[in-house]
Amino acid sequence: MKSLVLLISIGVCFGQPAKTLTSDLSTYGDMKIQGKGTGADINAGSSMQRRVVAINDSWCPLQIKGPQLIPKWDGSSYVYTISGNVQASKQATVLSFELDYRIYDPLGNKIRDLYWEFVTDLKPGASVPLNQTFEFPTSWMGEAKVAYATVFWIGRVRLLEGGKETVWTPGNVEDEIAIDHATLFPVSSHHPVQ
């Protein structure tokens, strides 16, 4: 697995010190999607591998480990399958959290922003698998077949700390996503057609 770590600091948010974000880039699987019924596989001739970026915030009570998003045919419908783990890293109990993710096509166009909410009591140091599957509407099929890169980050987190419930919110991840986008989709020099 190829790993790229980018560190940046962003401004103060909600009175917290500046946050440090890290991005881990890796490749997995391929672009093929099993065909519906006896139909041919979608992207059968592709040698491209899917790419993923996990953005972790050192101030976040959770850290994402090895996430993946794979569109596939489950025998009756097309679904997105999410895998990986989230680990609690701070001294508080996590009551629920939001996993946010952005999907891009191979040319760097944003396909869609999505999120998945998890309701679980997660003690410090414990982890929870991200194994989730959800059916998507058939109108998304054109998008799913080109789902090439996914960027994951933790959205809001509800915590129980010292008998009090609080909600942790992330800083601005958009700057980090822009850096990751440039890494995932480098621009070559443009040559005019002769």
Whether 189 is in a domain gets the answer no
Q: What is the pLDDT of residues 123-136, one digit of tens each?
A: 989 999 988 888 88
pLDDT band, residue 74 (cuts 50/70/90): confident
What's the mean per-residue pLDDT of the chain?
Answer: 83
Range of the domain at 145: 7-184
The β-bridge relationship of strands 110-122 and 127-129 is: unpaired
Q: Over 80: is that where the pLDDT of 168 sits?
A: yes
Whether 164 is in a domain gets the answer yes
Q: Looking at the domain assignment, is residue 136 inside a domain?
A: yes
Residue 1 lies in a domain: no
Q: For the whole model, what pTM was predicted?
A: 0.82
Whether 193 is in a domain gets the answer no
Helix (H, G, I), strand (E, B) or coil at 191: coil
Domain membership of residue 192 (yes or no) is no
- Say if strands 50-57 and 149-161 run parallel, antiparallel, or are unpaired: parallel
Asked if residue 97 is part of any domain, the answer here is: yes
Tell me the per-residue pLDDT of 25-69, one tens digit each, with 9 for 90 and over: 999 989 988 777 666 788 889 999 999 999 999 989 999 999 998
Q: What share of the chain is helix, strand, coil (3-state, %, to 5)?
A: 10, 50, 40
**Number of domains observed in the structure of the chain:** 1
Q: Per-residue pLDDT for 8 more than 80?
A: no
pLDDT score for 61: 93
Assess contact for 19 and 8: CB atoms under 8 A.
no
What pLDDT is attached to residue 194? 57
Distance in angstroms (rounded) separating the CA atoms of residues 119 and 93 = 12
Structural domain contains residue 143: yes
| Domain CATH number, residue 70 | 2.60.40
> What gap in Å lies between CA 106 and CA 112, rounded to an integer?
14
Question: pLDDT tens for residues 83-137?
Answer: 999 999 877 899 999 999 999 999 999 999 999 899 989 998 999 998 888 888 7
